[in-house]
Structures are given as C-alpha cells and as structure tokens.
Amino acid sequence: MKTGLSWMRSATESAHQARREVGARRGNTNELKERLAERPLARYNIAMFSRLFGKRAMAATPAQSAALANMPTQHVRANLGEPINRVPLSRETHVRLDLKNRRFDDLNANQATFVDCDFSYSIFERAYFRGATFEGCRFVGCRFYDSSLRGASFHVCDFKYATFHRTLLEPKEILAVLPLEPNLKRDSLQNLRANAAEIGDYGSQRLFVLAEVDAATDHLSRALKGSEDYYRRKYPGVIDKTVAAVGLARLKLGGWVWGHGERPFRMIRSAAILVLVMTFVNMWSIVPRVGWDTTRSGLEVLRYSVDLLLDASPDGRFKGFLFIDYALIAMRYVYIGLFISVLSKSVSHR
C-alpha cells in the first residue's frame, strides 16, 4: 500500500506531465486547470495541500472541488495511514516457548497465559499484556517500551536486569518477582521509580522509593557484616566497610527523622521525641535552680522548649543548657526545610 508521501509524489508527476502536454499545444491557464481536474490523484493532492497549508496552498477549481466531493469516502479512508500488523496471541495458552533474543512490536497478548516460557534479552515495544498470566517465565535482561502490563499476574518469574520505560504495570505484582539479591533489587527499583514518574503514577512511585530504601539498607547491612562471599570480595577493607557504615547510618537516620520524604507523620513523631529528650536534659539544669513546684512538674520546661522551637518568645526563667537552646534553634530550621520539601513534593504530584 502506498504511503501518503508516495501519493503526493505521484500527484506531482501527474501535474508536471499535464503542464508539459498543455504547454506543448500553447494552451491557456484554464485548459491546464481542467486537465488537472481530470486526474483523480492530482485533484486529491490539491485538496490535501489546501487543507494542510491553508490559503497559501494551491487552490482547487470548482471542477476539482466537485470531483473531490464525489470521490468515494472508502477510497479516501483506505489511503490514510498505515495499518499496524499485530501478532495476535490473545486468550491463548502458550507452554515452554523459547523466545529469547527477539523483538516484539505491537504484540497483542490480552488475557493470554504463558507457562515456562523464556523471553530473556528480548525487546517489547507497544506490547499489550493486559490481564495476562505468567507462570515460571524468564524475563532476564528484557526491555519494555510503551507497553501495558495492567492486570497481568506473575508467579515465580525472573526479572533480573529487566528495565521498563513508559510502561503501565501492577506495582505489587512486580515487587513480588524482583531479584532476591539486594543490589540487583535496588537497581531494578530505581528503574521502576523512573518509569512511574514517566507515566505520572506517583502513588506507585512512593511504593518503589520505600522499597528501594529497604533494598539499599539490606545491601549495606550485608556489606558491613561481610557474611557472604560477594560482599567479602567487594568490601574487603576497613575503609570500604566504613563507607558502607556511613551510608547505612544515613539511611537509618533519614528513615527515622522524616521517612525519606514519603512518610510525613514520622517527621512529627521524631520532632516530638527530640523535644521531649531535650526537655528532660534541661531539667537537670532548671529544677535545682527554680524548684520542682515552680516548673509545674516540668510542664513549664517543656513549654519553654516548644516556644523556642517555634520562635514564640519563651520564658527566660526556664532557660537550661546553652547547647540545648542551640540544638532547638537548629532543629527549627532543619524541620522547616523538611516540611517545605514534603509540601512541594505533595503539591507537584497533584
């Protein structure tokens, strides 16, 4: 089937041929237009140019317009676009297929079932696997582009080194079949998080971020312990283990303080715990000076810490250790920054 570009070229050649024939007989302009109107492909081309390029395109004569109006609608629709050749595998069961190192374009496997099939190192582009079932299948090193895995279920499948790009999928199904190795799982989750951002699925992105943090924590814990041969070879020295320990401590602290930006209530909880701890430390300095009754069983000391944290003119009688005051002031600005970060992320995702 000819494409739209080939039609236009054929129409242009037909127009040139008509001009040469009419010019050879010294015809006038009206005769040229009439000859062009007699050629179906040429008059179709004139009308298409008019639609695409507006008034500056070649204007069709009344005879050409009438001929275009009389052209069958089926003929026009048959020559628009190019049909997509989909491979139909819908609602079928496929067992033990060796489909490694292949490219699948516009594959239609709606509600299909695949058992013990090997798709390793294959490329899927615009594949449709909605509602499909995969049992014991291998997708090692596969790449998915602009595909749909909505409603698909995976049972004991292998997705090592697989990547997804602008692909719709079920987060919980994919999380259940990710690699068991924490470093590979972390890399897969980074790709899944980027894929979720590409398609605007921010709810799934949150799940992938938290799962990625858990995988990274597990990875650094194993590196620090060195109980496996892989980690003993990769983190052999004291410096390597120190770097792993610092990374692990940073992840633990970020999770406790504000849940890595994905659990805002942890920020409130951590702030409350820190204020209580600092209030308790200040009691050792304030109670011997002003007395227990004056502090109203420590409530005035707690109020002082909260007022200082919120910059709300605290009562100077209950001022304790100077380093506690500095810690509360620093804590105020740190938590303001964390709150703005969480708020901006929440607003930008709506």
- pLDDT tens sequence across 37-76: 555 544 445 444 444 444 444 555 666 566 656 655 655 5
Rounded mean pLDDT of 33-38? 52
Tokens, residue 147: 């595909």
- Answer for the pair 79, 2: CB distance below 8 angstroms, yes or no: yes
- Predicted local distance difference test score (pLDDT) of residue 38: 53
Domain residue limits, the chain: 4-78, 84-177, 181-240, 264-348
Cα 347 from chain centroid?
A: 17
Q: Using alpha carbons only, how large is the chain's radius of gyration in Å?
A: 35
- Predicted local distance difference test score (pLDDT) of residue 203: 85
Whether pLDDT at 101 is above 70: yes
Total residues found in the chain within this entry: 350
- Predicted local distance difference test score (pLDDT) of residue 81: 67
Q: Which of 25-34, 101-110, 159-168 has the lowest mean pLDDT?
A: 25-34
- Predicted local distance difference test score (pLDDT) of residue 102: 96
Residue among 274, 265, 336, 266 at smallest CA distance from 302: 274
Rounded mean pLDDT of 1-11? 49
Rounded percentage of the chain residues whose pLDDT exceeds 90: 59
> Please, which contacts does 259-262 make with residues 24 or more away whose CB atoms are closer than 8 Å?
260/209, 260/210, 260/213, 261/338, 261/341, 261/342, 261/345, 262/206, 262/209, 262/210
Whether pLDDT at 305 is above 90: yes
User: In this predicted model, what pLDDT tens digit does every residue of 239-291 receive, in sequence order?
Assistant: 999 999 999 999 999 999 999 888 889 999 999 999 999 999 999 999 988 98
Whether pLDDT at 205 is above 70: yes
Distance of alpha carbon 299 from alpha carbon 291, whole angstroms: 13
Q: Which helix (H) or strand (E) holds 107?
A: strand 107-108
- Predicted local distance difference test score (pLDDT) of residue 21: 58
CATH architecture of the domain formed by 84-177 = 3 Solenoid (2.160)
- Predicted local distance difference test score (pLDDT) of residue 4: 46
- Predicted local distance difference test score (pLDDT) of residue 26: 47
